[in-house]
């Protein structure tokens, strides 16, 4: 069996650990593993790299992806999708494993209608927005990166008695902001999934000042309906009668060595993806739910909304008094 492996969409810490698991477990099962560079565009450009066991040595600790990644405009067209299916067939591929987010899973579902090879998807995105897994590869590291940065900003906020708005990634999903806000003791957490009441937040900040709180900070997911951190700062400054400083964490959240949790998750899911192929399975995302490996149809991964942790949401207000 000839198996292609690629990473698609945004990079996330742990992708390399997952590639390593796929390659070594695949070779253990006497499969031929071929890396595809540059995401789905790599299929169209025939950027194929045969893997041996030693090809993935010394990468488990590295962030990013050795296969590189991207978003393919050509693949979004019907002609590009048919071309990808034709190339995979002509090159003798029997299966494909792709690591990425919900956009990648949608692309794999389309490919499955055009190509008769087996296809397995693995959740690799710091946004943790893929339905079918409790946590995606890279999320834990991104949260840890953001926590480290926020703790440092907090020192400055306390030293100068200042009010900060700290922006995390999350265009459509506030998972990073929610976890970071709880871990760092934010006064409020602003995320796309819940309505944002700026008047209530301002009243909360002012009340905290009156109780003796000398500094404050709010964690803002970039995709909130009230705008990004800079826009919200302009709206809040007048309400709280002080200048709200802004710090945008940006791509620092994506990089760095993957955490223990991401390395374990990536290794576990990569290994199970090979088991799925040897068992003849296809058209599924391999994730982890309640500590156990779980399989989800591609259509569900992007059409169903992954619920936020309501227990964490309820903690925000009482912990910030």
What pLDDT shows up at residue 232? Answer: 96
What pLDDT shows up at residue 126? Answer: 97
pTM of the model: 0.95
From first to last of its 321 residues, what are the pLDDT tens digits of the chain?
999 999 999 999 999 999 999 999 999 999 999 999 999 999 999 999 999 999 999 999 999 999 999 999 999 999 999 999 999 999 999 999 999 999 999 999 999 999 999 999 999 999 999 999 999 999 999 999 999 999 999 999 999 989 999 999 998 899 999 999 999 999 999 999 999 999 999 999 999 989 888 889 999 999 999 999 999 999 999 999 889 999 999 999 999 999 999 999 999 999 999 999 999 999 999 999 999 999 999 999 989 989 888 899 899 889 987
Question: Which positions ≥6 away from 97 have C-beta within 8 Å?
Answer: 3, 4, 5, 6, 22, 119, 120, 121, 122, 270, 273, 274, 277
Q: Does residue 236 sit within a domain? A: yes
Query: 91 with 107, same domain?
Result: yes
Query: 134 with 277, same domain?
Result: yes
Among candidate residues 127, 129, 140, 224, the one labeled active-site is 127
- Rg (alpha carbons) of the chain, rounded to whole number: 22
The SS3 call for residue 293 is strand
Query: 8 with 130, same domain?
Result: yes
- What token pair was written down for 302? 């992007």
Query: 93 with 207, same domain?
Result: no
Query: 227 with 284, same domain?
Result: no
What pLDDT shows up at residue 259? Answer: 98
C-alpha to C-alpha distance for 170 and 78, rounded to whole angstroms: 29
Contact 21, 33 (CB under 8 A): no
DSSP letter (8 states) at residue 55: G
C-alpha to C-alpha distance for 97 and 25, rounded to whole angstroms: 13
Q: Does residue 311 sit within a domain? A: no
- The CATH number that applies at residue 133 is 3.40.50.450
92 Ramachandran zone, left/alpha/beta (phi>0; psi -120 to 50): left
Q: Does residue 309 sit within a domain? A: no
Question: Which positions ≥6 away from 186 have C-beta within 8 Å?
Answer: 180, 217, 218, 219, 316, 320
Distances (CA, A) of 75 to 10, 43, 103, 117: 16, 9, 12, 18
Query: 119 with 29, same domain?
Result: yes
Query: 134 with 247, same domain?
Result: no
* Axis-axis angle for helices 175-184, 139-160 (nearest 10): 50
Indicate the number of domains in the chain.
2
What pLDDT shows up at residue 295? Answer: 98
127 is catalytic: yes
What pLDDT shows up at residue 199? Answer: 96
What pLDDT shows up at residue 242? Answer: 87
Per 3-state DSSP, the chain is made up of helix, strand and coil in percentages (nearest 5) of 45, 20, 35
- What token pair was written down for 266? 């990536």
Which domain does 123 fall in, by range? 2-138+258-303
Query: 60 with 184, same domain?
Result: no
Query: 150 with 198, same domain?
Result: yes
């Amino acid at each position: 069996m000839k198996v292609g492996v690629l990473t698609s969409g945004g990079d996330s810490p742990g992708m390399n650990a997952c590639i390593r698991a796929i390659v070594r477990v695949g070779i253990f099962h006497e499969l031929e593993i071929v890396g595809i560079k540059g995401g789905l565009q790599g299929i169209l450009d025939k950027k194929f790299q045969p893997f041996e066991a030693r090809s993935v040595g010394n990468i488990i600790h590295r962030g990013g992806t050795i296969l590189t990644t991207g978003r393919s405009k050509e693949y979004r067209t019907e002609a590009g999708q048919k071309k990808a299916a034709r190339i995979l067939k002509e090159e003798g591929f029997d299966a494909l494993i792709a690591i990425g987010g919900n956009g990648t899973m949608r692309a794999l579902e389309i490919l499955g209608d055009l190509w008769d090879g087996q296809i397995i998807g693995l959740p690799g995105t710091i946004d943790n927005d893929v339905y079918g897994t409790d946590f995606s590869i890279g999320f834990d590291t991104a949260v840890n990166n953001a926590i480290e940065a926020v703790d440092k900003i907090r020192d400055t906020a306390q030293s100068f008695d200042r009010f900060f708005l700290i922006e995390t990634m999350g265009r459509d999903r506030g998972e990073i902001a929610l976890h970071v806000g709880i871990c760092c003791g934010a006064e409020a957490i602003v995320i796309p999934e819940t309505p944002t009441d700026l008047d209530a937040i301002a009243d909360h900040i002012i009340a905290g000042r009156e109780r003796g709180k000398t500094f404050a900070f709010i964690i803002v997911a970039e995709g909130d309906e009230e705008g990004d951190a800079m826009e919200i700062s302009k709206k809040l400054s007048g309400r709280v009668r002080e200048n709200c400083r802004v710090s945008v964490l940006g791509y620092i959240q994506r990089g760095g060595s993957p955490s223990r949790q991401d390395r374990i998750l990536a290794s576990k899911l990569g290994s199970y993806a090979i088991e799925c192929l040897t068992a003849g399975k296809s058209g599924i995302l391999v994730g982890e739910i309640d500590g156990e490996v779980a399989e989800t149809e591609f259509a569900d991964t992007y059409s169903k909304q992954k619920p936020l942790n309501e227990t964490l949401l309820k903690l925000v207000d009482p912990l910030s008094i």
